[in-house]
Structure 1
């Protein structure tokens, strides 16, 4: 099931230097040194921090308990590609030789994985594409625009204009306009 995936480990969490509202979960490939930053909301950052520091699994405890009651065992978490400022994940459960997957926000999935000692996975091509954009030597991380919320995009746009980085500002403006058009067409 995870043949085309790369297993990840939690490396840590950080907050953006330029964008203070950017909360980032840093994952590293289990069999290597490359990393994958995942943008998470502030409350998700707090959830994961509480799980790591205080073993607080409040957001996942009931779900994992119910899954156990019906005979489902968590086997892994697959991170999905971000879209419109959100990253979702699939919780994979085994139920009588069948896999049942449930979509949840990424922070809740990570807490559930920590609680159950389950592996985190990301599609190989997604990881390869994203890891090429990161530069560990410069201690910088690149995040896909699709992972950024509208508020974060607006904050980045303001910063780009202030820095006279009009090329970046144009890209950010185009992404915001694309999302606005998509919302108006719904």
Structure 2
């Protein structure tokens, strides 16, 4: 399902990027209430992706969850590729929000399933009141299940088991994380 132009028109204000580029960490706004601006009461459970049409207008696409996911859960992930010392200046961030374990695992599994083979757009999975997300701030950055798994390991190590947080890489201009559905992620409140 694609949202109507009126429903996503408010996203233009979220991203101050040109028509040919995705927003950067520096240009993405920090607080905007998408629900009030778009008239949508609540995002429903599912997988969402953010893209831009030919005119540079943002388009959010919804698809049902991947029910058969076998991805690793957030709390038991093992870090292998992302070494603690190699984290950029952005690194991990903790939101101080305790999340539902089942929702967190399911949202992360759905995100990782969607990123199989690489996914090069902002994408998030919502289950209940929890979202797991990948934010693409620079063209060329790609979501991979292994990176999500490793980011989850460092988030859990820094924030605690099933506590909301994110891992941001300034070098690659992307972020992975999980938080409450009404909390800010990817620079906006979805």
Interval of TM-score (by shorter of Structure 1 and Structure 2): under 0.3
Higher relative contact order (CA 8 A, sep 6+): 2
TM-score if structure 1 supplies the norm length? 0.25
- Higher helix fraction (1 or 2): 1
Larger radius of gyration: 1
- Provide the TM-score with structure 2 as the length reference: 0.24
